[in-house]
Amino acid sequence: MTTEREDELRGRLAALRERLARAAEDAGRDVGEIELLPVTKFFPAEDVVALYRLGCRAFAESRDQEASAKVDQVAQAVGGLGDEPLRWHMVGRIQRNKARSIAQWAYAAHSVDNAKVVAALDRSASAALDEGVRAEPLRVFVQLSLDGDESRGGVDVSAADRIDELCAAVDGADGLAFVGLMAIPPLGADADEAFARLQQERDRVQRHHQQRLGLSAGMSGDLEAAVRHGSTCVRVGTALMGSRPLTSPAVVTRVTPSSQTTVPLESSEPAPPPEGSTQ
């Protein structure tokens, strides 16, 4: 059984894979070393199931509340389809009080930028490992801010000491695995310049670590530039899923085939930031 939406996603996914392959080729890189990570925030579990049928096994979300509900829905829907594990990635701002929940569903967190969150995630992931809720440490990308505006998320890229300290804390945490750096180019910035700076910082941080560090970099609008500068994981929402059905800062409108329902966000969640910001 295929639906119209599934056909649409099949076409977009094929086009996106081709686009990524071309980007890799143009950069003289092997596309096999670059993960294509679909960002499914604001889209329903049905879309994730459709992508699963199309071969996707990893998905990214930006809010714990939305993600944890969707993870359960998808697990129920695909339970019988196979035993390859689904890997969910947290790419949005992480609040400390959500660490426990995130450690239950996330395979990786891309947006870790302070020591308190590291400690909270480590505690929660360690507990989840002890309880058998998770099989592996939580993979962590440390997020950097490329313009130094830390209010938008990320450690200032020019604060080498603080970056080293945070990376060392992640690396030393039993419940976590330090896997690389992540950044989002500042609004209006030249993507090549931004990603070149990120890559340079990755190369610097790499000198202190044995494991090969990756780069979570590139979205719908700038993945080619990210691939030119060493990205190992592009996080793509819009180019795959279509425009997010976000109508106002306080309300998420979920569009379903049969109805349009407006679901207010729980007040404990921060209002979604404008497009192009780090959520």
Ligand X SMILES: *Cc1c(COP(=O)(O)O)cnc(C)c1O
Q: CB within 8 A of 7, min separation 6: which ones?
A: none
For ligand X, which is the closer residue by CB, 99 or 126? 99
Q: CB within 8 A of 113, min separation 6: which ones?
A: 142, 143, 144, 145, 150, 153, 154, 155, 166
For ligand X, which is the closer residue by CB, 205 or 236? 236
**What dihedral angle (degrees, nearest 10) is formed by the CA atoms of 226, 229, 232, 238?**
0
* Residue 153 C-beta: closest distance to ligand X, Å: 8
* Residue 226 C-beta: closest distance to ligand X, Å: 11
For ligand X, which is the closer residue by CB, 44 or 237? 237
The residue number whose beta carbon is nearest to ligand X equals 237
For ligand X, which is the closer residue by CB, 132 or 274? 274
The site for ligand X (CB under 6 A) is made up of: 39, 41, 62, 91-92, 219-221, 235-239, 278-279
For ligand X, which is the closer residue by CB, 221 or 249? 221
Distance CA 14, CA 162 (A): 41
**Beta carbons of 115 and 147 less than 8 angstroms apart:** no
For ligand X, which is the closer residue by CB, 24 or 126? 24
Half-sphere exposure of 24 (CA within 13 A, CB side): 18
* Residue 71 C-beta: closest distance to ligand X, Å: 17
Half-sphere exposure of 145 (CA within 13 A, CB side): 17
* Residue 113 C-beta: closest distance to ligand X, Å: 12
With left for phi above 0 and alpha for psi between -120 and 50, is residue 230 left, alpha or beta? left
* Residue 1 C-beta: closest distance to ligand X, Å: 28
* Residue 131 C-beta: closest distance to ligand X, Å: 29
Number of residues assigned to the chain: 279
- In this structure, the number of other CB atoms found within 10 A of the CB of residue 147 comes to 18
Nearest C-alpha neighbor of 228 from the set 201, 206, 195: 195
**Beta carbons of 195 and 162 less than 8 angstroms apart:** no
* Residue 221 C-beta: closest distance to ligand X, Å: 6
Distance CA 120, CA 127 (A): 11
